[in-house]
Amino acid sequence: MTVMDFELGEQQRAFRDAVAGFAARHLAERSLARAREPGYPWDVAELMAGQGLLGITVPEADSGQGGSLMDAVLAIEAVAGVCPRSADVLQAGNFAAIRTFAEYANDEQKARYLPGLLAGTALIAVAMSEPEAGSAATELRTAAAPDGDGYRITGSKVFTTHGSDATLFLVYVRFGPGIDGIGSVLVERGTQGFTLGEPMPYMSGEVWRQLYFEDVRVEPGNVLLGPGGFKKQISAFNVERIGNAARALAVGRLAFDIAREHALERKQFGKPLAEFQGLQWKFADAALKLEAAQLLLYRAAVNADKGLPSGQETALAKVACNEAGFFAANEAMQVMGAAGYSEATLVDYCMRRTRGWMIAGGPVEILKTRIAEGVFDRRFPQRDRRPDTK
């Protein structure tokens, strides 16, 4: 009989500890300042590239590290627990649009774009959400009309993280009606007809930009997935969700650890805050949620190995990590009183970041519907009828 093992293997522990050591040496000192800076930390990206921390799951044949999804999760947790903002670089370099790209790009596309992305000198953003298509992503309208051997793109995207800094955009487009009409194209920054709106701040301090496509010519070599590509894109997007979940958990735990130290040192009514049961139970509840969510996250990652994680296990992990991370960060702030609400530590930042991840990458409500579909073993279409999307 196989025994279940809840410990990391020796190599995994060594890898995690090595990344944590790197983060402590190179990222800890500026973690507070970096959290207040809206721009993409390009210096961190190049540093991480030098450490082999970008493209962890990209095959060695494509100049990646050939590691597993679990390796990438261990790395992003180790960095997020020291410098949350730097963990965004690991997200961009391992879990987000780069993973969809690495999964489906042809050799020519990989040769053109992977070297810069893996060196930390280029950045790919995902442009899926539209003004009229958020949770209902399949209602997107940005159209790809045939133009000779290529296409012309017309439409608009919202909420694109790294919109100000990305050099390449993975744009979800509609080649024809229905879900089967959706695919994706690669659009470089600076392409004629492609413009960006004003930077808009998120609550986290990051900025997003609206993207405008006016008759933008896309060469055939820049189609990533043609019509019928949507399901493949969403399968790969589950990796993005795992990165989102891992950061939520690690950032919630960082706030928890800061509050724990504070509760041991700060005295009121003649004794440390940690002596009050009303606060002890906050830590107990947070520990319970964080540890339970950790198991779901590792299960989804380990079962994916070098492939893509299952939709159901990803949904369970993301909801659990999002809720646990935000709960822990929010309670950490309460435990610390005004010190937590001020910007003197990372706790306010942890609270704001974990809040955003409950919406980004598939809001918890949408993922709970996905989980319920697994429970009842049937689909729960949210529309009364198919949209007449052209």
Nearest to ligand FAD of 31, 210 (CB atom): 210
Residue 212 sits in the site that holds ligand FAD (CB under 6 A) = no
Site for ligand FAD in 370-389 (CB under 6 A): 382
Nearest to ligand FAD of 160, 322 (CB atom): 160
Q: Please state the closest distance from residue 380 (CB atom) to ligand FAD, in A.
A: 9
Selected range binding ligand FAD among 241-249, 275-283, 300-308, 356-364, rule: CB under 6 A: 356-364
Selected range binding ligand FAD among 17-25, 36-44, 251-259, 359-367, rule: CB under 6 A: 359-367
Residue 92 sits in the site that holds ligand FAD (CB under 6 A) = no
Nearest to ligand FAD of 67, 356 (CB atom): 356
Question: Which two tokens mark 9?
Answer: 């293997």
3-state SS, residue 142: coil
Q: What percent of the residues of the chain are helix, what percent strand, and what percent coil, each to the nearest 5?
A: 55, 15, 30
Residue 365 sits in the site that holds ligand FAD (CB under 6 A) = yes
Nearest to ligand FAD of 282, 370 (CB atom): 370
Number of residues that bind ligand FAD (CB under 6 A): 19
Q: Please state the closest distance from residue 86 (CB atom) to ligand FAD, in A.
A: 17
Question: Which two tokens mark 164?
Answer: 């100000």
Contact indicator for 89, 134 with CB cutoff of 8 Å: no
Q: Please state the closest distance from residue 139 (CB atom) to ligand FAD, in A.
A: 10
Q: Which residue lies nearest ligand FAD, judged by its C-beta?
A: 134
Contact indicator for 369, 318 with CB cutoff of 8 Å: no
Residue 363 sits in the site that holds ligand FAD (CB under 6 A) = yes
Q: Please state the closest distance from residue 183 (CB atom) to ligand FAD, in A.
A: 15
- Per the listing, tokens 């990796």 go with 239
Nearest to ligand FAD of 180, 365 (CB atom): 365
Residue 349 sits in the site that holds ligand FAD (CB under 6 A) = no
User: Torsion angle of alpha carbons 358, 257, 265, 31, nearest 10°?
Assistant: -90
Residue 182 pairs in a beta bridge with 174
Q: Is residue 239 within a helix (H) or strand (E), and if so which, with residue range? A: helix 230-265
Whole-angstrom Cα distance, residue 282 to residue 115? 46
Closest Cα to residue 210, out of 146, 125, 291? 125
Residue 359 sits in the site that holds ligand FAD (CB under 6 A) = yes
Q: Which residue from 19, 58, 70, 128 is in contact with ligand FAD, where contact means CB under 6 A?
A: 128
Contact indicator for 230, 179 with CB cutoff of 8 Å: yes
Nearest to ligand FAD of 129, 345 (CB atom): 129
Q: Please state the closest distance from residue 360 (CB atom) to ligand FAD, in A.
A: 3
Q: For the chain, how far is it from start to end, CA to CA, in angstroms?
A: 55
CA separation, residue 353 to residues 7, 287, 356 (Å): 28, 19, 5
Selected range binding ligand FAD among 74-82, 261-269, 341-349, 357-365, rule: CB under 6 A: 357-365
Site for ligand FAD in 133-192 (CB under 6 A): 134-135, 159-161
Q: Please state the closest distance from residue 217 (CB atom) to ligand FAD, in A.
A: 22
One DSSP character per residue, 184-231 reads: EEEEETT-TTEEE---EE-TTS-EEEEEEEEEEEE-GGGEEE-TT-HH
Residue 27 sits in the site that holds ligand FAD (CB under 6 A) = no
Whole-angstrom Cα distance, residue 193 to residue 202? 26
User: Interface with ligand FAD by CB under 6 A: which residues?
Assistant: 125-129, 134-135, 159-161, 202, 356, 359-360, 363, 365-366, 369, 382
